[in-house]
C-alpha cells in the first residue's frame, strides 16, 4: 500500500452541496448538516483490486485507499475491524431461516463497533494536529475515544450520564480519560461537552459533528461485502442511536457501486430502536424527513437512549432508499433475545444486539422478512460492558 493516500478529494455537505478542504479542521457544515468525505472513485478502483484485499491484514485499514487518513504514519490502531460474520447455529433453524448471520462487533477493541469510528477520528485528529478530544457518550464511544487517545498520546475528556453502566466509568478512567458525569441523557451530556469545549479549547467528537467517525463505521459495509464475496445480503438489521453505523454502511455500498465492486440490489436497511426512545421509527411512520426529539427517553440499552440525532435525515434517507423500515421493540423483548443469543449461539451481546434479534422476530412474523431472505443481524457491542444492567435480568431470576 502507498504511504500517502491520494484518492481523498474533499469534504461535502449532503444537504446544501457545499465543499470544504480536507486540511481544514471541520465540524458541521455552515448550514448545520453533518459533513461527509468524498473520494476519487475512478482512481480508487484502479489502485485497489478487491480480490487482492484478502492478502492484507484483516482490519479496517485494509481499505486504506478509500479512507480519509492521508499519511499512514498517522494511523492510530488497536487492531479494529475484521470482525466475524457468523452463520446462525441454532436460532435460524428454530425460526425457519436458513440464511441468518450475525456480525459480531463486540470483538473489536474496547468491546464494540465504536472502535472503528473513534479509531478513524482519532487518527485524523492526530493528522490535523488536534491535541484535546472531548465526547458526550452513553458509554461505548467514551471507552473507544479514551483508548485511541491514549494510544495517540492525546488528551481525552468523557461526559456521560450519571446512570450509564458502571463498566464504562471504570474503563474510561483506566484508559486515562478525564470523566464528568451529568444528570440526564446524552443530549444533556452534549450541552455540557459543548460548554467545556468552548471554555477550555477541546475538540468535540460528538456523533456526526465531525466528518470522520462515519468513515470508520462504513468499513462494516466493506467487510460484509467481502465476507459475502460481494453478493450483498437481502436485509441488514442495525440498532441505531446516533445512526453513524447505518449511514456509514449505506455510504459504503454507494461507494462500492461507484467503483464497480457490487451489482444488483443493495440490502434493505432496518433501524431498530427502543419503545422508550424511538424517534426514527416514529418519523419513518409519519413520513417526515427529520425526527422530532423524543421526550422522556428511557431504555436499558444505553446506546439506544438518543432522543435526537443530527444525522436523522441521513438515516431516514438510507432506510427509504433501500426499501427498509424502522421498528421499536420493548426492553423485555431485548432481554429475551439477548438471552437467546447467549444460550443458543454463544454470543454474549449487549442489549442492543438483543434489540436487533427482537426486530428480526417481529419482521419475520409480519412478512416483511421472508424465511428465504439472507439476513445479517448486527451485534454492536459486548455484553460484558453491561454486566451491572444484565445481572438484574438473569434467566435464573425469571
Give the chain as a 3 state SS string. Answer: CCCECCCEEEEECCCCCCEECCCCCCCCCCCCCCCEEEECHHHHHHHCCHHHHHHCCCCHHHHHHHCCCCEHHHCCCCCCCCCCEEECCCHHHHHCCCCEEEEEHHHCHHHECHHHHHHHHHHHHHHHCCCEEEEECCCHHHHHHHHHHHHHCCEEEEEEECCCCHHHHHHHHHCCCEEEEECCCHHHHHHHHHHHHHHHCCEECCCCCCCCHHHHHCHHHHHHHHHCCCCCCCEEEEECCCCHHHHHHHHHHHHHHHCCCCCCCCCEEEEEEECCECHHHHHHHHCCCCCCCCCCCCCCCHHHCCCCCCCHHHHHHHHHHHCCEEEEECHHHHHHHHHHHHHHHCCCECHHHHHHHHHHHHHHHHCCCCCCCCEEEEECEEHHHHHHHHHHHCHHHC
| Buried/exposed 135-159: b ≥16 CB within 10 Å, e otherwise | bbbbbbbbbbbbbbbbbbebebbbb
Amino acid 6: pLDDT:
85
- CA pair distance 131, 150, nearest whole angstrom: 11
Amino acid 340: pLDDT:
98
Amino acid 263: pLDDT:
84
- β-pair type (155-161, 178-182): parallel
- CA pair distance 158, 319, nearest whole angstrom: 31
pTM, 2 dp: 0.96
Amino acid 1: pLDDT:
45
Where do the structural domains in the chain lie, given as residue ranges? Answer: 85-112+216-397
Considering the domain delimited by 85-112+216-397, tell me its CATH architecture.
Answer: 3-Layer(aba) Sandwich (3.40)
Cβ contact 216:120 at 8 Å: yes
Amino acid 344: pLDDT:
98
Amino acid 264: pLDDT:
83
Question: To the nearest 10°, the Cα dihedral for 102, 107, 109, 115?
Answer: 0
Cα 208 from chain centroid (whole Å): 11
Per-residue pLDDT of the chain (398 residues; tens, 9 = 90+): 445 788 999 999 999 999 999 999 999 999 999 999 999 999 999 999 999 999 999 999 999 999 999 999 999 999 999 999 999 999 999 999 999 999 999 999 999 999 999 999 999 999 999 999 999 998 899 999 999 999 999 999 999 999 999 999 999 999 999 999 999 999 999 999 999 999 999 999 999 999 999 999 999 999 999 999 999 999 999 999 999 999 999 999 999 999 999 988 999 999 999 999 999 999 999 999 999 999 999 999 999 999 999 999 999 999 999 999 999 999 999 999 999 999 999 999 999 999 999 999 999 999 999 999 999 999 999 999 999 999 999 888 86
Cβ contact 350:108 at 8 Å: no
Neighbours of 322 (CB within 10 A): 20
Amino acid at each position: 500500500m502507498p504511504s500517502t493516500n491520494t484518492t481523498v478529494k474533499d469534504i461535502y455537505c449532503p444537504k446544501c452541496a457545499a465543499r470544504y478542504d480536507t486540511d481544514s479542521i471541520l465540524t458541521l457544515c455552515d448550514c448545520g448538516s453533518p459533513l461527509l468525505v468524498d473520494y476519487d472513485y475512478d482512481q480508487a478502483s484502479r489502485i485497489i483490486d478487491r480480490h487482492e484485499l484478502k492478502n492484507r491484514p484483516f482490519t479496517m485499514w485494509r481499505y486504506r485507499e478509500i479512507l480519509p487518513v492521508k499519511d499512514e504514519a498517522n494511523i492510530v490502531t488497536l487492531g479494529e475491524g475484521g470482525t466475524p460474520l457468523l452463520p446462525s447455529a441454532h436460532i435460524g433453524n428454530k425460526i425457519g431461516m436458513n440464511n441468518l448471520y450475525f456480525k459480531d462487533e463486540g470483538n473489536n477493541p474496547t468491546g464494540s463497533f465504536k472502535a472503528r469510528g473513534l479509531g478513524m477520528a482519532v487518527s485524523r485528529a492526530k493528522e490535523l494536529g488536534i491535541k484535546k478530544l472531548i465526547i458526550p457518550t452513553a458509554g461505548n464511544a467514551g471507552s473507544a475515544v479514551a483508548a485511541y487517545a491514549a494510544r495517540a498520546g492525546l488528551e481525552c475528556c468523557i461526559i456521560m450520564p450519571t446512570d450509564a453502566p458502571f463498566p464504562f466509568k471504570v474503563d474510561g478512567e483506566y484508559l486515562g480519560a478525564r470523566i464528568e458525569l451529568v444528570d440526564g441523557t446524552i443530549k444533556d451530556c452534549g450541552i455540557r461537552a459543548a460548554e467545556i469545549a468552548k471554555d477550555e479549547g477541546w475538540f468535540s467528537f460528538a456523533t456526526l459533528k465531525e466528518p470522520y467517525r462515519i468513515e470508520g463505521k462504513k468499513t462494516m459495509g466493506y467487510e460484509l461485502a467481502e465476507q459475502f464475496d460481494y453478493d450483498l445480503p437481502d436485509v441488514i438489521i442495525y440498532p441505531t442511536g446516533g445512526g453513524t453505523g447505518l449511514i456509514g454502511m449505506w455510504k459504503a455500498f454507494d461507494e462500492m457501486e461507484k467503483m464497480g465492486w457490487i451489482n444488483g440490489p443493495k440490502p434493505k436497511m432496518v433501524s431498530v430502536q427502543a419503545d422508550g426512545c424511538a424517534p426514527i421509527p416514529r418519523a419513518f411512520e409519519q413520513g417526515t424527513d427529520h425526527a422530532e426529539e423524543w421526550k422522556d427517553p428511557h431504555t436499558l440499552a444505553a446506546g439506544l437512549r438518543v432522543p435526537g440525532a443530527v444525522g436523522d435525515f441521513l438515516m431516514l434517507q438510507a432506510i427509504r432508499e433501500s426499501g427498509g423500515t424502522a421498528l421499536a421493540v420493548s426492553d423485555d423483548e431485548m432481554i429475551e433475545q439477548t438471552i437467546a443469543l447467549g444460550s443458543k449461539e454463544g454470543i454474549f451481546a449487549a442489549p442492543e444486539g438483543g434489540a436487533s434479534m427482537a426486530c428480526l422476530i417481529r419482521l419475520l412474523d409480519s412478512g416483511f422478512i421472508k424465511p428465504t431472505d439472507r439476513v445479517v443481524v448486527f451485534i454492536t457491542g459486548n455484553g460484558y460492558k453491561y454486566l451491572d444492567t444484565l445481572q438484574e435480568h438473569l434467566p435464573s431470576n425469571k
